[in-house]
Structure 1
Amino acid sequence: MNFNIHPISNTELKEKLTHKINHKTKPIGALGTLEEIALQIGMIQNTEEPVLKNPTIIVFAGDHGIAKKGEVNPYPQEVTAQMVYNFLNEGAAINVFCKQNNIALKIVDAGVHHDFDNIKGLINAKIAFGTQNYQEAPAMTHKQCTTAIQKGADLVTTTYHRGCNSIGFGEMGIGNTSSASLLMAYFTGTPIKECVGAGTGLDTQAIKTKQHILADVYAKYTVSSPIEALATFGGFEIAMITGAILKAAELKMTIVIDGFIVTAALLAAQAIAPNTIDYCIFAHTSGEQGHQKILHFLRKKPLLDMGLRLGEGTGAAIAYPLLVSAVDFLNTMASFESAGVSTNE
């Protein structure tokens, strides 16, 4: 998979943006992380006057073969399809937060084990009716994986050409924290038992069972590339998010990274194209223990720490207004010179 993603390395622009930020009517650094966001978005857009246009969140839904047994998930697999209907009926948390913050929302069937019969409002990108159970065989074939990556990329391309330059991703898939844990173990080298958390609400004993099951799965395979890791352990929704992140970075979009599942997809994207992370802003750290460890591995500080672990892109939607604040202060706040305020120089 070839994505042409350039590093953000315009030293001259960085100096200009830093000067602009430091000479607003405030002490240097007084707006904290907002200053870092403003600098990063300016660098991504290669301008001293960045603008956020038509923000969009794409939620990818897919089912996982391992979830049929119910050993690693407290909710039945049917909940994936039921929640897709909830998204389409505007009843989920992501609908609420996107509407609140004027973010466009797209819902994608990446591989749900259900026939939606071309229902209005749902983007049909289905690869298959769920992945294989990786206790028995790789989750998907190499072709299915690369097709999913490309479909995710194509959806971002379409969104970009409709005027969007800031994007976030969400997911829905019963069992997908198990896939994320396996991918985290592969890409970070963290022991699998330290990657596994409660998911949608497992108790202590069920978490231990999940750890043992996934440790056996991880030991079953010898994986030698990022694509093979996605194909072996991933979900169709995770592979599509990987492709979506890669294309968004290639198009120099500002990418708001959500929680554990999306960050696991980012690990794959970053392994495929190492400059991808330059375009990413991390919305929050979730209550899922693996997510906190991935952020530490990536050496990234999230904007929020609110104990969120819902998925759906909710963390990205809640954090987006902070990006707006960062861009607005950069573009409209007075400088010491324009306001006639004395500096400390």
Structure 2
Amino acid sequence: MSQTFQSLDDFRSLLAQAPNPDSAARDLAEARNGQLTKPPGALGRLEDLAIWYAGWRGDARPAVTAPQVVIFAGNHGVTAQGVSAFPAEVTEQMVLNFQQGGAAINQLSKTFGARMTVHALSLDRPTADFTKSPAMTEAELLEALQTGWNAVDTDTDLLVTGEMGIGNTTSAAAIAQALFGGDAADWTGRGTGVDDAGLANKTRVVAEAVALHGGQGDGIEALRRLGGRELAAMAGATARARALRIPVILDGFICCAAAACLEATAPGALDHCVAGHVSAEAGHGAVLAKLNKDPLLSLGLRLGEGSGAALAISILQAAIACHSGMSTFAEAGVSDA
């Protein structure tokens, strides 16, 4: 579907007017869950996930048939500050690897039956160094949001967004501090593996960026000033999923920082999202706590690419398979007394 917003204020309005889950479908799913051949609560969080998913899909007995993984790539001007262990050229090289099917996310998408697409956003035109000016103009942010919005297939029934962008953990850390407070060191991690001196430099960069841009507007403005094109595209895709009542599995630190900009702009904007995992990157667990999202997995991952969220597709598939495929006590002829 083509864009339906012409300005950032239009986008904000879409967030504010986003649809809610189907309460009737949710109630029916909860009733069905109480009739399945198991003791009450025996499937733990799988039961909650199935009921949550049913509400968003408007179907008391849903199926996951068309999961989609969308990867966005962007380059960051702040890499000129030496915040990454890898050069910016790696972003484009990894995009080619995605396109050729050679990355971890390709294997995970294939394993769980997800269609995967890759969108490179002006890699030859990095965002501005946000220690000196806002990362993006309003027009650039709008373009990236629209790319994400348009990347979501209307027949998708479960969405994962991932990213590639050298320097983007610095962006995520700056957004997290701007939105949630604390010190730069609370949110800044080693990313691609910087050493102690590199971590100190990266923390300095985050502190300088937030000192320049912090407290100047809502979450969308924080995204414009401190984000990147790939973060903005993830936010746009997540918002589009909400408009279509498509449940979303959030990935790691960068994905959640981008999503937090939506929540900071319109509280409740992430009600259609669950956290796929908690990563090993510093700050991710704290962001999830601020968003009140309990991760489904904790495997020490810190790859990005949507990899942790893609793994969690299996958890959602299992939850829905049990909910929709199990027999009720009456169907099985089993006494529920």
TM-score, with structure 2 as normaliser = 0.92
Correspondence for 1:68: 80
250 and 275 in structure 1: CA distance in 2 versus 1, 3 angstrom threshold:
farther
> Between the two proteins, what is the percent identity of the paired residues?
35
Question: Does residue 192 of structure 1 match 2:184?
Answer: yes
Correspondence for 1:6: 19
Q: What is the alpha-carbon distance in structure 2 between the residues aligned to residue 185 and residue 136 of structure 1?
A: 17
SS at match of 1:205: helix
Question: Does residue 171 of structure 1 match 2:167?
Answer: no
Q: Which sections of structure 2, spanning at least 5 residues, go unmatched?
A: 1-10
TM superposition outliers: structure 1 runs of 4+ over 6 Å: none
SS at match of 2:270: helix
**1:126-275 to 2 correspondences below 5 Å:** 129-156=125-152, 159-160=153-154, 163-222=155-214, 223-275=216-268
Of the three residues 287, 299, 306, the one matched with 2:280 is 287
SS at match of 2:271: helix
Correspondence for 1:93: 104
Q: What is the alpha-carbon distance in structure 2 between the residues aligned to residue 203 and residue 337 of structure 1?
A: 61
Deviation per CA, 1:32-68: give whole Å up to 9, x if none.
1111110110110122111223211110000000113
CA contact (8 A) 1:185 1:192 kept: yes
Question: Does residue 78 of structure 1 match 2:89?
Answer: yes
Correspondence for 1:126: none
Correspondence for 1:118: none
The AA in structure 2 aligned to 1:328 is: A
Q: What is the alpha-carbon distance in structure 2 between the residues aligned to residue 210 and residue 151 of structure 1?
A: 29
Correspondence for 2:7: none
Question: Does residue 313 of structure 1 match 2:313?
Answer: no
- The CA RMSD over aligned residues, in Å, is 1.5
CA contact (8 A) 1:145 1:227 kept: no
Displacement after TM superposition at 1:182 (Å) = 0.8
Aligned residues: 323
CA contact (8 A) 2:26 2:58 kept: no
SS at match of 2:121: strand
Displacement after TM superposition at 1:209 (Å) = 2.2
Correspondence for 1:33: 45
Q: Which sections of structure 1, spanning at least 5 residues, go unmatched?
A: 114-128
Q: What is the alpha-carbon distance in structure 2 between the residues aligned to residue 111 and residue 304 of structure 1?
A: 33
CA contact (8 A) 2:108 2:310 kept: yes
Deviation per CA, 1:244-295: give whole Å up to 9, x if none.
1111101100111111111111101222333321111211000012110011
Correspondence for 1:328: 321
Correspondence for 1:116: none
Displacement after TM superposition at 1:133 (Å) = 0.8
CA contact (8 A) 2:21 2:57 kept: no
Q: What is the alpha-carbon distance in structure 1 between the residues aligned to residue 135 and residue 141 of structure 2?
A: 9
TM-score, with structure 1 as normaliser = 0.90
Correspondence for 1:59: 71
